Chains A and B, each alone.
Chain A
Amino acid sequence: MLYQMNFGDLLPYWQVLARGLLFTVVLTLVSTVAGIFVGTAGAWARTFGPKWAGTCVSIYVELIRNTPFIVQLFFIFFGLPAIGVKMGEAEAAFLAMTINLGAYSTEIIRAGIQAVPYGHLEAGSSLAMSRWEIFRHIVLKQAFMKVYPALSSQIVIVMLGSAVVSQISAEDLTYAANYIQSRNFRAFEVYLVVTGIYLALAIALRALLRGIARAVFPKG
C-alpha cells in the first residue's frame, strides 16, 4: 500500500512549529555567545593564566568532551535538583549548551592562541605591553582568525545538537515536531519538514558566520 502524504495536516500546527523554531534560534544564539565567552576565558586560563586556573579548566574540558551531551543535560535538569539547584527546562537547556560549547571552544581557541608566533609576543613585550595587553590586543584576534572555520563548524554542530533538549521538554523545534506527530500521526511529513528547517537553519547560520568574518577580520 502506498502511503498517502498529507502536508495539509500540519497547517493547524504552524504556530507550534514557529514557536519551536524561535526557541531553537534564540537558544543557539544565546548559548553560542555565552559559550564562546566561556571558551575564550578557558583558553586564556590554559595559555596566559595562572597554572591552577589552567588545571581547573583542563579538568572541565576533559569532563565535558568525554561525556555525552544528553547525560550532561540530564544531570543539570534531573540531577542537580537533588542538591537543591532547580531550574526550568529552558534555563537547563541554555546552561548545558553553554557549558558544552564552552569546553569545545576552549580547545579550539587555545589552539589558535598557541599558533600565534612567539615573536609577536616578544614584539609586544618589547613595546612595554603587559601580558594582559598582549593577550587582548595582539593574540586574541589573530587566534580567532586562525580557528574561525573550526569554531564555525562547532557552532553549527551545537545548533544541530540542540535538538536533544527536547528530551527535557524544552520546547524547541524537535519538541514541536514530536508534539505535532503525536497529535496528527503525520510523522513522515512533520519530520521531513523539520529536517528541511534544520537544514535551512544550518545554511543560514553558516552564512551569518561568514558575514561576521567579513565584517570583523581584515581582508587579504
Chain B
Amino acid sequence: MSLVSIKDVRKSYGANEVLKGVSLDIKRGDVTAIIGRSGSGKSTLLRCINGLETFQSGSIAVDGMAVGDGKTDLRTLRRHVGMVFQQFNLFPHLTAGENIMLAPTVVAKEQKGEARAMAESLLEKVGLEGKFDAYPGQLSGGQQQRVAIARSLAMRPTVLLCDEITSALDPELVNEVLRVVEQLASEGMTLILVTHEMRFARDVGTKLVFMHHGLVHEEGDPKALFANPGTPELAQFVGGIH
C-alpha cells in the first residue's frame, strides 16, 4: 500500500491550469525526486501534499488521511508531513535550538526539558552540535537549512517534503545539506524532493518523477531513466543539464 497516494489532481490559478491530472503513488521509504522545468508544476504538487495549496479536483491521501476534503484536519495531517523550504524560513527571533523546540512544545505539548534534549540530539544529527544558542542570522545558509531540516524532524514526520532546499545556497554549501538528506534516506525516511540536483536524484533517489506541462511525463527508477530516457522531453531536459 502506498504511503502517499495522488490521484488525478488538477489545480488552476484562474485560467492557468498548472496541474492537469497528476497521479502518483509513493511507498514508505521511497526517496522520490521530482524534476522538471520551472513552471512544470512540481513545487505546486509538493505544496498540495501538506495542504499549503488547495486543488480543484482529484484526491491526495497521506497514510490514509485525505488532504483537502474538508474532513481531515490539516493540522493533524501536518503533524505527519514535514516540509523544508528553499528559503529556510527559520524564525529569526528564536535561536537554532528554540526554532527546533517550538512546534514540539507549542503543538505537541512536550515538556521543555524533553524538547530541549531532542533539539540538541537533532542538531548533532545534522552536524551542528554547539549551535543551540546561535540565532539564524549568525549561521551560514547551509547551516540554516540544516537547522530547518532538524526543525521539521522534531515533529517526527512520516514523510518529509523538500522544496528545492539547495537552490538558495552557495554552491560550496550544497553538499553539506545533501549529506544530511542522504543520511535520512539511508535511515529509511520517506522523502519527496523537488530538486535540480540531478546527480543527487540519480544516486540517492529510489524513484524519479519527471514533470512536464503540469503532468507526470515519466516516472521510474532514477538510474535507468537517466541512462535511457523514455521520452524526448526527458532526454532533452537531462541533456540540457549535463
A220-B135, A220-B138 known; A129 vs B92 contact (CB < 8 Å): no
Are B155 and A128 within 8 A (Cβ)? yes
Interface pick from B100-108, B184-192, B202-210, B225-233: B100-108
Distance to closest chain A CB from B52 (angstroms): 6
Q: Does B121 contact A (CB under 8 A)?
A: no
Are B87 and A126 within 8 A (Cβ)? no
- Interface size of B by CB at 8 A reads 31
Q: Does A133 contact B (CB under 8 A)?
A: yes
**Partner pick for A128 among B78, B85, B93, B138, CB 8 A cutoff:** B78
A123-B89, A128-B79 known; A137 vs B106 contact (CB < 8 Å): yes
> Chain B residues with Cβ under 8 A from A219's Cβ?
135
Are B75 and A119 within 8 A (Cβ)? no
Complex formed: what's the CA distance from A120 to B93 in Å?
11
List which A112-153 residues lie within 8 A (CB) of chain B: 117, 119-120, 122-123, 125-130, 133, 137-138, 141-142, 145
Are B155 and A145 within 8 A (Cβ)? no
Nearest CB to that of B50 among chain A residues?
A126
How many A-B residue contacts, CB cutoff 8 Å? 68
> Chain B residues with Cβ under 8 A from A126's Cβ?
50, 52, 78, 81-83, 152
Are A138 and B107 within 8 A (Cβ)? no
A137-B102, A217-B93, A220-B137 known; A125 vs B52 contact (CB < 8 Å): yes
> Chain A residues with Cβ under 8 A from B148's Cβ?
123
Are B85 and A119 within 8 A (Cβ)? yes
Distance to closest chain B CB from A168 (angstroms): 41
> Chain A residues with Cβ under 8 A from B87's Cβ?
117, 119
List which A168-195 residues lie within 8 A (CB) of chain B: none
Distance to closest chain A CB from B199 (angstroms): 27
Distance to closest chain B CB from A158 (angstroms): 26
Q: Does A12 contact B (CB under 8 A)?
A: no
Q: Does A218 contact B (CB under 8 A)?
A: yes
Complex formed: what's the CA distance from A126 to B80 in Å?
10
Distance to closest chain A CB from B102 (angstroms): 6
Q: Does B212 contact A (CB under 8 A)?
A: no
Distance to closest chain B CB from A62 (angstroms): 31
Q: Which of A123, A138, A142, A218 has the most CB of B within 10 A?
A: A123
Complex formed: what's the CA distance from A218 to B93 in Å?
6
8 more CB-based (< 8 A) A-B contacts, given A128-B103, A138-B102, A219-B135 = A117-B89, A122-B85, A125-B51, A127-B151, A129-B103, A138-B91, A141-B93, A220-B135
13 pairs from A and B in contact (CB 8 Å cutoff):
A119-B87, A120-B89, A123-B89, A126-B52, A127-B151, A127-B155, A128-B103, A129-B75, A129-B102, A137-B102, A217-B93, A218-B93, A218-B94
